[in-house]
């Protein structure tokens, strides 16, 4: 799987900042008696304010983002602001990256996937619900909605080309149009990578490589050809069942790994016989990060404590990369430590390269979680300062 820049021409580059959105989830049953320490202020600001918690009592700050959503926001609302712009740019030939970030139990996986047949919508308390996205399409997360939009676009384009081909006007030449879609699914657990789409028992170990022309890519990773949104999401779900999860005090099904689901779209088109052949190739990375956590909150021990240490170390490396990229965006000469973790190396081109990048920060409203919430809000505000250059990949 290539994650770096393609070898052909990139066009239309323009500087823009990483888009940052914040989603404040509703309180769960264990938090109903806690004072809310986070407030959505109008449309683009998130405010923390003093309350009884010792950390929160000292916090009174306002953070600005591209969008802020409170617990009233639907999955469709999030998709319109987060998923649609990234997907449409991807369909035009731009690399894209959508990252869900936040503490464990803040709603990242629900936002990215929606509820599955087994897991709960109330992550922190561990309360289970019978909500099934297959029975309630309104609960579908970003990934299935993105896949539906991609294949709806492809079907529309192919239908338009077919209509031209079948037109009675003999002056209309037959167009050429072909789409190829592939997907891959990678897990990073304790700084070790796993191919979530590989056959059981496969001995192939994915490795991150960097090439002068190809950029960063993953060697030995399965790329499956797909023909529909349903087939693609079925592969995604099968891969997700192989992902590492564990029980913590904060979250009954806490993701213990980072997961990167990548869609690779290639198109070849010729408007009419004799016209130049136009080729486009773009990658869309859908990233569900393991949740940051504090040992005293999660009561981690043994294996869970080791996992938490690896997760926090990886997220710390991500924070250091963001800090360095902010300095670079300000014109400073800084080394960006992408190689400090597998995650940051994998996302090197997405974070600091030629991709449309969106960060979705998920937070809890509860005063008891204010320490992690403040950390997430500060990280998200810093990420908003990073400038990237999005380029269309075509020839």
Judge whether 104 is annotated as a binding position.
yes
Instruction: Give CA–CA dist 166/155, Å, rounded.
Output: 16
Helix 84-91, helix 142-165: angle, nearest 10? 40
E-strand stretches of the chain? 10-17, 19-24, 38-41, 45-48, 61-64, 67-69, 95-102, 176-189, 192-195, 207-211, 215-219, 224-226, 245-246, 254-255, 258-270, 278-288, 355-363, 387-393
Whether 106 has a binding-site annotation, put simply, is yes
- 107 in a known ligand binding site: yes
The reply, when asked if residue 164 is annotated as ligand binding, is: no
User: What are 223's two structure tokens?
Assistant: 């790329």
Assess contact for 259 and 162: CB atoms under 8 A: no
Contacts 24+ apart (CB under 8 A), 124-131: 124/28, 124/30, 124/31, 124/250, 124/251, 124/364, 124/366, 124/369, 125/28, 125/29, 125/30, 125/31, 126/251, 126/252, 127/28, 127/29, 128/252
302 is in an annotated binding site: no
- 141 annotated as belonging to a binding site for a ligand: no
Binding residues for ATP: 102-109
Per the annotation, where are the binding residues?
102-109
């Amino acid at each position: 799987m290539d994650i770096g820049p393609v070898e052909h021409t990139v066009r239309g580059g323009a500087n823009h900042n990483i888009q940052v959105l914040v989603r404040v989830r509703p309180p769960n049953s264990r938090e109903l008696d806690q004072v809310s320490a986070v407030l959505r202020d109008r449309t683009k600001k998130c405010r923390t304010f003093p309350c009884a918690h010792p950390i929160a009592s000292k916090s009174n700050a306002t953070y600005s983002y591209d969008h802020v959503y409170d617990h009233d926001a639907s999955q469709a609302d999030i998709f319109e602001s987060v998923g649609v712009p990234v997907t449409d740019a991807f369909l035009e030939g731009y690399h894209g990256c959508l990252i869900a970030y936040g503490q464990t139990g803040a709603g990242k996986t629900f936002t990215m996937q929606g509820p599955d047949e087994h897991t709960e919508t109330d992550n922190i308390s561990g309360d289970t619900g019978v909500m099934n996205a297959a029975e309630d399409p309104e609960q579908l997360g970003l990934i299935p909605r993105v896949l539906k939009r991609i294949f709806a676009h492809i079907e529309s384009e192919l239908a338009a080309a077919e209509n031209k081909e079948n037109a009675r006007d003999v002056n209309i030449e037959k167009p050429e149009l072909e789409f190829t879609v592939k997907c891959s699914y990678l897990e990073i657990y304790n700084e070790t990578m796993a191919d979530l789409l590989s056959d059981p028992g496969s001995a192939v170990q994915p490795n991150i490589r960097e090439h002068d022309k190809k950029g960063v890519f993953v060697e030995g990773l399965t790329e499956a050809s797909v023909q529909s949104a349903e087939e693609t999401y079925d592969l995604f779900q099968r891969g997700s069942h192989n992902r590492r999860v564990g029980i913590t005090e904060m979250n009954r099904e806490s993701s213990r790994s980072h997961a990167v689901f990548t869609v690779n779209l290639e198109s070849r088109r010729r408007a009419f016989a004799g016209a130049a052949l136009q080729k486009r190739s773009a990658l869309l990375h859908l990233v569900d990060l393991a949740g940051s956590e504090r040992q005293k909150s999660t009561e981690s021990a043994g294996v869970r404590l080791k996992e938490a240490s690896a997760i926090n170390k990886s997220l710390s490396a991500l924070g250091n990369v963001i800090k360095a990229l902010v300095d670079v965006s300000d014109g400073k000469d800084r080394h960006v430590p992408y190689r400090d973790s597998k995650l940051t190396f994998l996302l090197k081109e997405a974070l600091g390269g030629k991709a449309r990048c969106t960060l979705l920060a998920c937070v809890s409203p509860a005063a008891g979680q204010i320490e992690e919430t403040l950390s997430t809000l500060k990280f998200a505000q810093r990420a908003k300062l990073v400038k990237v250059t999005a380029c269309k990949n075509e020839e």
